Amino acid sequence: MKSKNKMWSGRFESAMAKSMIDLSFSLDIDKELLEEDIQGSLAHGKGLVEAGVISKKEYAKIAAGLQSILAAANKGKNLWNKGDEDIHMAVERVLTEKIGSLGKKIHTGRSRNDQVATDFKLYMRHKAIDVLGRILELQKIVYELAKKHKGRLMPGYTHLQQAQPIQFSHYWMSLFFALERDKKRLSNFLALHNECPLGSGAMAGSAFSYNRKTVAKELGFGGISANSIDAVSHRDMALEFLSDLSIIGSALSRYAEDMVIWSTSEFGFLTLHDKFSSGSSMMPQKKNPDSMELIRGKAGRLIGNFTAMFTLVKGAPLTYSRDLQEDKLPVFDSVKTILACLQVFGEALESAAWNFENMEKKMLPALLATDLADLLVESGTPFRDAHHIVGNLVGIAAKRGVNFTELPELPQLRKKLTFAYSVSRRDIEGGTGKKSLDAQLKKAEKLLLM
Ligand code: ARG
């Protein structure tokens, strides 16, 4: 049976096998690109008018048809059918049904290879801006939290062992500045991947010479790709995007892990709001920090998508190979995942109850060991020796079953050695002291205004 209904079926004797259709049709996934596909076609059509390939009148009809497709789809109308291979073919089919064979002219001088590359780049650019917005929202929440609880102390950890006293706000400002780098990474990404592939055709460049720069500008790109092979082959933009999103996700995952630990009865620093917890189907007493566990789990998924993309591209011969169709799902999935994680983390943080009394209660006097060594240094002892002396004292105290600050060996230093004193000594820029924290908050205010 000769297949007539496929747009590329001219040279084929038989239709595609059902199993092959199932393997290859991507509409269910790439319909996510509808808006960008329409934008791309509108801009491409304008280029065709300028080049004299289609008339202004023809363009007006095509453009109206494309707009109506987008409007109908946005209203929830299902325009697609089982025979549509992907969103690009589907749009062209619906357009042709609407305005007649004129609809087929929109694909002049274009291949799905440069069309897909363009749609996909546009999509990632749009979504990077959404992610940037969500990061900013989280930064504001973190900033407010830090500002509100200035002066509250808690144990700071290394190796998950109590290390030094810190301000609770100092801990949270660490996330603020990490997020600031995530924003920079995405801004760099937007600056780098700013070239429009349209005009590259299947791989050698379109034979209809049209003004690529105008088309690129129309789509909001800063310029045009310099080489058609490069433009349709590479997916480094997707790799970079997935990497950036994985980095955000894995940072959130570490904070989420801390929140899981903080919310245990052993720590008791934090109670997540019921809205961000869940119960056990068997144990009635349980309130589990599922929001944080999920954020931790989603980081695995983000890294998985990043890995999938690398695995996909590393062996695909230039230029376009159909493998590359598999590039969409990891990106769509990671975008949705990171947006959800950023949102939930922010809301969970805003609604959480912080148990500052418990934080203070749990602070061990040994947190002050470094400060005692520092005091000895101030009275002339070299730091290495001071470290040794204090280590000995801590050991003796442990043997006697008392806190080292209670040892009779250091009566005159005892009064000085408080958690507040320890924090106050760390006003160096970036430290946990009051002045430093105020400076961090100021810096944050400036960044939030930009
Ligand atoms: N659905 C395909 C994709 O997203 C479209 C490109 C098909 N190109 C081709 N030469 N078969 O990659």
- Contact in structure between 102 and 58 (CB atoms under 8 Å): yes
pLDDT by residue (tens digit) across 221-257? 999 999 999 999 999 999 999 999 999 999 999 999 9
Residue (of 226, 33, 195) closest to 112 by Cα position: 33
| Six-digit token string for 134 | 């969500």
pLDDT by residue (tens digit) across 360-370? 999 998 899 88
Cα–Cα dist 323/353, whole Å: 49
C-alpha of residue 310 to centroid of ligand 1, in Å: 19
**DSSP code string of 28-47:** HHHGGGHHHHHHHHHHHHHH
| Six-digit token string for 259 | 């929140």
Provide mean pLDDT across the span 18-36. Answer: 96
C-alpha of residue 86 to centroid of ligand 1, in Å: 8
pLDDT for the residue 2: 47
Name the pTM for this structure: 0.94
For a mutational test of ligand 1's pocket, the pick from 325, 326, 331, i.e. the residue with the most ligand atoms closer than 8 A to its C-beta, is 325
pLDDT(292) > 70: yes
Cα–Cα dist 60/55, whole Å: 9
| Number of neighbouring beta carbons within 10 Å of residue 413 | 16
Burial (CB count <10 Å: 0-12, 13-18, 19+), residue 447: middle
Burial (CB count <10 Å: 0-12, 13-18, 19+), residue 63: middle
pLDDT for the residue 284: 67
DSSP H or E stretch at residue 218: helix 212-218
With a CB cutoff of 8 Å and minimum separation 6, the contacts of 234 are: 313
For a mutational test of ligand 1's pocket, the pick from 80, 112, 119, 228, i.e. the residue with the most ligand atoms closer than 8 A to its C-beta, is 112
| Six-digit token string for 362 | 């749990």
Q: What share of the chain is helix, strand, coil (3-state, %, to 5)?
A: 65, 5, 30
Residue (of 338, 309, 337, 302) closest to 325 by Cα position: 309
* Ligand 1 nearest atom to the CA of residue 116, by list position: 4
Instruction: Out of 13-22, 41-50, 84-93, 199-208, pick the least confident.
Output: 13-22
pLDDT for the residue 1: 44
Q: How far is CA 224 from the centre of its chain?
A: 26
Provide mean pLDDT across the span 128-135. Answer: 98
Percent of the chain exceeding pLDDT 70 equals 97
pLDDT(3) > 60: no
Provide mean pLDDT across the span 370-379. Answer: 88
pLDDT for the residue 413: 74
- Contact in structure between 239 and 309 (CB atoms under 8 Å): yes
Q: Compute φ and ψ for 12, nearest 5 degrees.
A: -100, 145
Q: Is 397 in the pocket of ligand 1 (CB under 6 A)?
A: no
Distances (CA, A) of 16 to 31, 34, 167: 21, 25, 65
pLDDT by residue (tens digit) across 57-73? 999 999 999 999 999 99
Distances (CA, A) of 201 to 39, 159, 204, 255: 17, 55, 6, 46
C-alpha of residue 114 to centroid of ligand 1, in Å: 9
pLDDT(278) > 60: yes
Residue nearest to atom 3 of ligand 1 (CA): 325
Alpha helices in 112-235 (DSSP H): 112-148, 168-192, 212-218, 228-233
pLDDT for the residue 403: 85
Residue (of 23, 37, 150, 166) closest to 90 by Cα position: 37
Q: Are strands 270-271 and 195-196 parallel, antiparallel or unpaired?
A: unpaired
Cα–Cα dist 162/193, whole Å: 44
Distances (CA, A) of 179 to 144, 185, 249, 368: 15, 10, 11, 31
Q: Are strands 195-196 and 223-224 parallel, antiparallel or unpaired?
A: parallel
pLDDT for the residue 410: 74
